[in-house]
Structure 1
């Protein structure tokens, strides 16, 4: 560092700012410092020494509810994560991905040992042990979607409102026989048919909110919850959801409309309908949730509830930066949703 400072004719503090606080320097001066540093073979401040000096690791622990392969099979996560990273990366923060397990989040001991300045909970289950570990470490916490944790910053969406819109749309098309394809609830045993009571005990808040939105809207139109079969999928991938969609379509009388708690589940339902020779939407209407890119590319294009995943990720990133800067805890942010009607829904068959 001394050699670079002498060569450029500035102080050691200015050299440090070029790497750690670039906003404190003019762009030309920073470029000159980096050019000279490269010529002299100086790689920049030692990250370990910097961490010890600042008591900051520069890392944000991003906690998932499932393993990496399962989690990243859902495009909604990839879009949200990319937007969050775009917010925090320019400020020098890296993401430490922490895959989840069988209890709706990472193992507590992994969180306790993680070198991180802040934790992000991405759609974790209620009571996940990872949340207890965050609390024990007194780490600042940002929650995306769920659960509701006192003392955390949170960004989520109007899950119930989106479900109401999807159910109402299908009712207006004349449908009265419904099935619900649910995301995992962490039921025991996992995966399979659920009663309404069992489904409403899901450890995931968004499941409960969406289910309530569906069933309350249907009940108000004269379709009782006892007439609506519910099937829990045990994972997040399309392949795992196909058996659930097949089971719903095998019930008698067969549903004319499926309400799916994610686009991936809805795309699985479309695949099963094709296998069974059911025309969508002539014989079956399918509605998803999220409006990920595959929803627009599917055949037919998927009617779904759109949430702004990019805005959600960016908002979470800004919340991370606010907490790391010691700013006051903001009120929870709830983003609006909207129903996007495409070709996968139509009038109920006679």
Structure 2
């Protein structure tokens, strides 16, 4: 019987250098600074490494030496699946990933729940900087990000953070244009379905105080734009029903629309602060036998592909470009110390889901 087989110890940088008769620096350069070696020498080092089972420099040790992790952290206060399920988040993620590819750096997703305050994942993330995707002003994970000594870029919200780069759109201007469009069509009986206004679940009507006190700047601004447009037509915003839904999904949109239509059956237009909610509202209207736009005009915000496919009237924003800009701000900042704020344009897309009441003598001057 033969004796026990002892597995061969994996090669190290030192043993590989000795095997090849070169310096440790030469082996290290083959991985970290290939421009310092001739192509034949680098290939000889890599071939020997494969043959001897050398896995390459330890990335943890290398990051300790260089003080660089080689990755960007993307903070999402949603479930991980949200990044791949929500079309807006997907478009933004594509743009950010393209920016990371160009810079030769990795991308680490850091999804956390808005209903939980555990911030360990932020503190433990091995990243060179953070991109924060649309979080509330009082989010504890965002506060943890600001405590890290690395550059940070905010996408959309929160706003007005000192020393932090930001990329977003003018949400108020977008809904102002949308609201004016509905006013020009003759709509005065308008209902609104909005996304969450705080990190605490509230699936009900949101009064003016709750709207103005929202910790989500994007929702505040979108509601403010609608309010301004309707005020121009003499509509008292306190009389406009605003229904809030915590979840951002088709089902939430359908459920919110049902609540709104049940409590205010006389509305002629339903404005949703996202296309996802609007698509759910369209489903609810169809299930009720309501014709869109003959019986009810429906509009959204975002310009996601499915909204375009069904002809939804909406405000289009450039998600992919936002991701690219966020990546540029973080990865091409160089020695810049002054924060940069980028505001990208929106575009009102008039689809087939809104119609003028005057076309059939249905104009209403009030409730």
- Residue 339 of structure 1 corresponds to which residue in structure 2? 348
The answer as to 2:96 corresponding to 1:84 is: yes
Once the two structures are superposed, residues 241-291 of structure 1 have per-residue CA deviations (whole angstroms, 9 ceiling, x without a partner) of 211111112233521111111110110110000001111111111111111
Q: Please identify, of 304-313 and 36-45, the stretch whose mean Cα deviation from structure 2 is larger.
A: 36-45
Tell me which of 236, 258, 281 is aligned to 2:248.
Answer: 236
The answer as to 2:137 corresponding to 1:126 is: yes
Q: Please identify, of 339-348 and 42-51, the stretch whose mean Cα deviation from structure 2 is larger.
A: 42-51
Q: Tell me which structure has the larger Cα radius of gyration.
A: 2
SS at match of 1:171: helix
In the alignment, the residues of structure 1 paired with residue 145 and residue 105 of structure 2 have an alpha-carbon distance, to the nearest angstrom, of: 19
Tell me which of 302, 322, 329 is aligned to 2:338.
Answer: 329
Q: 1:170 to 1:57 in 2, by over 3 A?
A: same
- Residue 306 of structure 1 corresponds to which residue in structure 2? 316
Q: 1:187 to 1:138 in 2, by over 3 A?
A: closer
Q: 1:253 to 1:187 in 2, by over 3 A?
A: farther
* Contact preservation (8 Å) 2:30, 2:37: no
Q: Scaled by the length of structure 2, what TM-score is found?
A: 0.84
The answer as to 2:146 corresponding to 1:135 is: yes
SS at match of 1:97: strand
* Contact preservation (8 Å) 1:157, 1:334: yes
- Cα shift at 1:114: 2.0
- Residue 102 of structure 1 corresponds to which residue in structure 2? 114
- Residue 212 of structure 2 corresponds to which residue in structure 1? 200
- Cα shift at 1:136: 2.4
* Contact preservation (8 Å) 2:20, 2:45: no
CA RMSD across the alignment = 2.9
**Correspondence list, 1:166-185, <5 A:** 166-185=178-197
- Cα shift at 1:9: 11
- Cα shift at 1:158: 0.8
SS at match of 1:68: coil
In the alignment, the residues of structure 1 paired with residue 229 and residue 323 of structure 2 have an alpha-carbon distance, to the nearest angstrom, of: 30
SS at match of 2:263: coil
Q: Which runs of 5+ in 1 are unaligned?
A: none
In the alignment, the residues of structure 2 paired with residue 30 and residue 200 of structure 1 have an alpha-carbon distance, to the nearest angstrom, of: 66
- Cα shift at 1:343: 1.1
* Contact preservation (8 Å) 1:18, 1:33: no
- Cα shift at 1:19: 4.2
- Cα shift at 1:29: 7.3
Once the two structures are superposed, residues 19-55 of structure 1 have per-residue CA deviations (whole angstroms, 9 ceiling, x without a partner) of 4456x57997799579746754554332122112112
Tell me which of 227, 248, 264 is aligned to 1:252.
Answer: 264
Q: Please identify, of 113-122 and 277-286, the stretch whose mean Cα deviation from structure 2 is larger.
A: 113-122
* Contact preservation (8 Å) 2:73, 2:110: yes
The answer as to 2:157 corresponding to 1:146 is: yes
Q: 1:27 to 1:283 in 2, by over 3 A?
A: farther
The answer as to 2:247 corresponding to 1:222 is: no
- Residue 317 of structure 1 corresponds to which residue in structure 2? 327
Q: Please identify, of 111-120 and 220-229, the stretch whose mean Cα deviation from structure 2 is larger.
A: 111-120
**Number of positions where the alignment pairs a residue of Structure 1 with one of Structure 2:** 345
In the alignment, the residues of structure 1 paired with residue 265 and residue 316 of structure 2 have an alpha-carbon distance, to the nearest angstrom, of: 30
* Contact preservation (8 Å) 2:292, 2:354: yes
In the alignment, the residues of structure 2 paired with residue 30 and residue 332 of structure 1 have an alpha-carbon distance, to the nearest angstrom, of: 47
SS at match of 2:205: strand
* Contact preservation (8 Å) 2:191, 2:271: yes
* Contact preservation (8 Å) 1:64, 1:122: yes
- Cα shift at 1:128: 1.1
- Cα shift at 1:314: 0.3
Q: 1:35 to 1:342 in 2, by over 3 A?
A: farther
Q: 1:273 to 1:34 in 2, by over 3 A?
A: farther
In the alignment, the residues of structure 2 paired with residue 332 and residue 317 of structure 1 have an alpha-carbon distance, to the nearest angstrom, of: 13
- Cα shift at 1:108: 2.4
Q: 1:326 to 1:30 in 2, by over 3 A?
A: farther
Q: Please identify, of 27-36 and 181-190, the stretch whose mean Cα deviation from structure 2 is larger.
A: 27-36
